[in-house]
Amino acid sequence: MNLKGRSFLTLKDFTPEEITYFIDLAADLKAKKKQGITGNSLKGKNVALIFEKPSTRTRCAFTIGCIDEGGHPEYLGKDDIQLGHKESVEDTARVLGRMFDGIEFRGFKQDTVEKLAKYSGVPVWNGLTDEYHPTQILADFLTLKEQFGQLKGLKLVYVGDGRNNMANSLMIGSSKLGIDFTILAPKELWPTGELVDTCKGYAKESGSTIYITDDLEAVEGADAIYTDVWCSMGEEDKAAERIAMLSPYQVNHDLFAKTKKKSTVFLHCLPAVKGKEVTEELFEQFSEVVFDEAENRMHTIKAVMVATLGE
């Protein structure tokens, strides 16, 4: 499959076969790394890592993934370059595109990562924006595949803020790959009708379902329950309001009992605020799976760079 030169901005841009290819390539790269085998597909390549928002997993995953494959990553924090301040995003993109072979962006606006892709002329990878977090979904799906052996036909329930970047991206990815997907959230935090309609179109093609509800009984039959922090970065002022609204949706043993399944796993993109969106007890019960998921950020991000930029 030829993905060379492609940017990775949202999973909307990729076919089910292409998304599956990224996941399979990541599994292969992970197995090789466990045997001490790394590659050199990024030899001679320089990669810019732009971070408007701080990060643990995304930064480490891009850095190690790039070095493992022989490339050079250069971290550019918000105080290191003029992106959108003294220099327009378009001009910064044209400068970086002449010096670097690929660009990662983690920040606020989806519009910024799209402009970087449009004007730089090199592959650009979305490390998170307010709208989408596509590299995280690849890690989530690799983890689910490791747990269950397949993806198609699984039931995934996302609990919490149903209109954040994680809910959006999980809905896109699940509907493309035939995973039955439920968002369990208070009505005020449901995703936009437009995105739901788009994903229902994908689900029709893949033979899966999309269901948005505020009824806790909807977790019945879930193979995986997924949650995220109740306040995304930049929304700290809404904390009290969110806690009041989302407390009934805490992931705990009572909610897990409603699945009526013994095999259900818990996923979280991290960092977790234990005692809020998930109890410490439940988090620790599934910590092995959650930290597999965190490690899988590196293998899947490496796969994206190798597929789109590697030789």
Is the pLDDT assigned to residue 98 strictly greater than 90? yes
Using the Cα atoms of residue 51, residue 52, residue 57 and residue 58 in order, give the sign of their dihedral: negative
* 255 marked as binding residue: no
* 175 marked as binding residue: no
pLDDT, tens digit, 9 for 90 and up, residues 148-193 = 999 999 999 999 999 999 999 999 999 999 999 999 999 999 999 9
Q: Which residues pair with 77 in a beta bridge?
A: 51
Q: What is the DSSP letter of 87?
A: B
Average pLDDT over residues 91-96: 97
269 a catalytic residue: yes
Structure confidence at residue 305 (pLDDT): 99
Q: What is the DSSP letter of 121?
A: -
Catalytic residue among 140, 268, 269, 299: 269
Structure confidence at residue 168 (pLDDT): 98
Q: What is the DSSP letter of 48?
A: E
Helix orientation angle between 193-206 and 165-177, rounded to the nearest 10 degrees: 20
* 269 marked as binding residue: yes
Residue 27 CB neighbour total at 10 angstroms: 17
- Residue 296 — very low, low, confident or very high, per pLDDT cuts 50/70/90? very high
Structure confidence at residue 33 (pLDDT): 98
Return mean pLDDT, the chain.
97
pLDDT cut 70: percent of the chain above it: 100
Catalytic residue among 136, 199, 223, 231: 136
- Residue 209 — very low, low, confident or very high, per pLDDT cuts 50/70/90? very high
Q: For domain 11-133+296-309, which architecture applies?
A: 3-Layer(aba) Sandwich (3.40)
Alpha-carbon span 308 to 7, nearest angstrom:
7
Can you state the percent helix, strand and coil of the chain, rounding each to 5? 50, 15, 35
Structure confidence at residue 224 (pLDDT): 99
For residue 182, what is the enclosing H or E element? strand 180-184
136 a catalytic residue: yes
Alpha-carbon span 141 to 19, nearest angstrom:
10
Alpha-carbon span 291 to 266, nearest angstrom:
11
Average pLDDT over residues 247-254: 98
242 a catalytic residue: no
pTM of the model: 0.97
Alpha-carbon span 77 to 73, nearest angstrom:
13
Which one-letter amino acid corresponds to residue 298?
M
Structure confidence at residue 232 (pLDDT): 77
pLDDT cut 90: percent of the chain above it: 95
* 287 marked as binding residue: no
94 a catalytic residue: no
Pick the CATH number of 136-293 from 3.20.20.370, 2.30.110.10, 2.30.42.10, 3.40.50.1370: 3.40.50.1370
| CA 150 to mean position of chain CA atoms | 19
Catalytic residue among 59, 68, 228, 268: 228
* 133 marked as binding residue: yes
- Residue 236 — very low, low, confident or very high, per pLDDT cuts 50/70/90? confident
297 a catalytic residue: yes
**Domains of the chain: which residue ranges?**
11-133+296-309, 136-293
Domains 11-133+296-309 and 136-293 are alike in CATH topology:
yes
Q: Pick 84 or 243 by higher pLDDT.
A: 243
72 a catalytic residue: no
What are the DSSP calls for 203-267, one per residue? HHHHT--EEEE--GGGGTT-SEEEE--SS-TT-GGGHHHHHHHHGGG-BSHHHHHTT--SS-EEE
